[in-house]
Amino acid sequence: MENAPVDITPPLALLSISGLSSTGLSGTEGDLKTFAALGTFGVSAVTAIVTQTAAGEAQCEPVTPGAVTAQIQAAMDNVAISAVKVGMLPSMDSVYAAAEALRAAPPPPDHTAQGKTLPYIVADPMVGTTAGFGPLGAKAVEALKQTIFPMASLLTPNATEAALLSGREVDTPEHIESAAKALFDSLGVPVLVTGGRFSDSDEATDVLWDGRELEFFNTPYLRGVNTKGSGCTLSSAAAVYMARGFGPGDAVAQAKDYLQQSLAAALPLGRRVILNHAHAPKPMRG
C-alpha cells in the first residue's frame, strides 16, 4: 500500500536588513532568532559589523552600499520574501542602496498578501545615539524619510528616535501620543512608539497610531533583566505576524506578548541576564 502524499506547506520567509551584532541579541542576529522562534525562515542582508562589549564599548564597520544591494537581491532571488525588517542603515548611501533594492522586490506569495505589490516592511530606525554609536547624519535621516519609511507597513521608533524624527520632546505619555500622530501625518505609515517608561513606573507603555485608532500596550517592567535587543525582537516579531495577515494593532499585540515572554524567561549568560528568544519555539510553517 502506497503512502498518501504529504501536503507540505512551505514556511513563510522573512528578510532582516540590519547590522551584525557581536551581542547575539540585537540587529540581524536578534531578528533571525525571532523569525526562527516564531516558525518562519529568516534570511539576512548585513549592513554593518557591530562590536559591543559588556562594558559598553562599541565599534561599527559599515558594509559597502554595493554589498548591501547585492545581499538583498540575492536573498530575494533565493526565496519568496513575505516581510522585511529594516534596522540599522549606517549611512545615507546604505539607505539609498536598501531602498533601491526593496523597490525592485517581487510581490509576496499569494497566500500571504493578495494584491500587495511589495512585501510587508517593518522599519525600526536606528537614528539616535544608541549603544555608543553617534546619531545618524541629518541627510541620512532625511533619506530614510523620503525612501524607506514611506514603503513601510509599520514604523517602530523608540521614544528617543521618535523625538529626533518628529522634532518634538518625548518625555511624557502625552508626548508619545503626539509624536506618533505627527510621524503618521508626515509619513502616512502606522507608527508604534516604544520604550515609554517614565519616572519610577512599574509599567512600560508603547503607543500605536494608525490614523484611525490610538492603542496603548502596557506591560510590566521586569527589573534585573537586560533588555538589549528588545526593540529588534519586537519589530521582527511584528513583521512575522504582519506576514501572516494580522493588521498593525493585532500584529503588535502578538509581538508584545512574544517579547514579554522572552524577557520573563530570561537566562543568565556571562555578566548578564538576557532575553530568551527560544523560550517556546514554534514549528516552521506558512
pLDDT of residue 131: 47
Q: Is residue 188 domain-resident?
A: yes
122 neighbors 86 (Cβ within 8 angstroms): yes
CATH number for the domain harbouring residue 127: 3.40.1190.20
Q: Is residue 281 part of a domain?
A: no
Q: What would the pLDDT profile of 152-207 be if each residue is shown by its tens digit?
A: 999 999 998 999 999 988 888 788 999 999 999 999 999 999 976 665 667 788 99
Radius of gyration, alpha carbons of the chain = 18
Between the alpha carbon of residue 60 and those of residues 90, 134, 245, the distances in Å are 9, 10, 35
Burial 145-162 (b: 16+ CB within 10 A, else e): bebbbbbbbbbbbbbbbb
Report, as ranges of residue numbers, the positions in the chain whose pLDDT lies below 70. 1-8, 54-57, 110-116, 129-135, 196-201, 224-226, 286
Parent domain of 166: 13-274
DSSP string, 145-211: HHTHHHH-SEE--BHHHHHHHHTS---SHHHHHHHHHHHHHHH-S-EEEEEE--TT-SEEEEEEE-S
**What integer pLDDT is reported at residue 221 of this predicted model?**
75
Query: For the segment 18-42, what is each residue's pLDDT rounded down to a tens digit?
Result: 999 888 788 999 999 999 999 999 9
Tell me whether residue 4 is in a domain: no
Count up the domains in the chain and report the number: 1
Strand partners, 192: 208
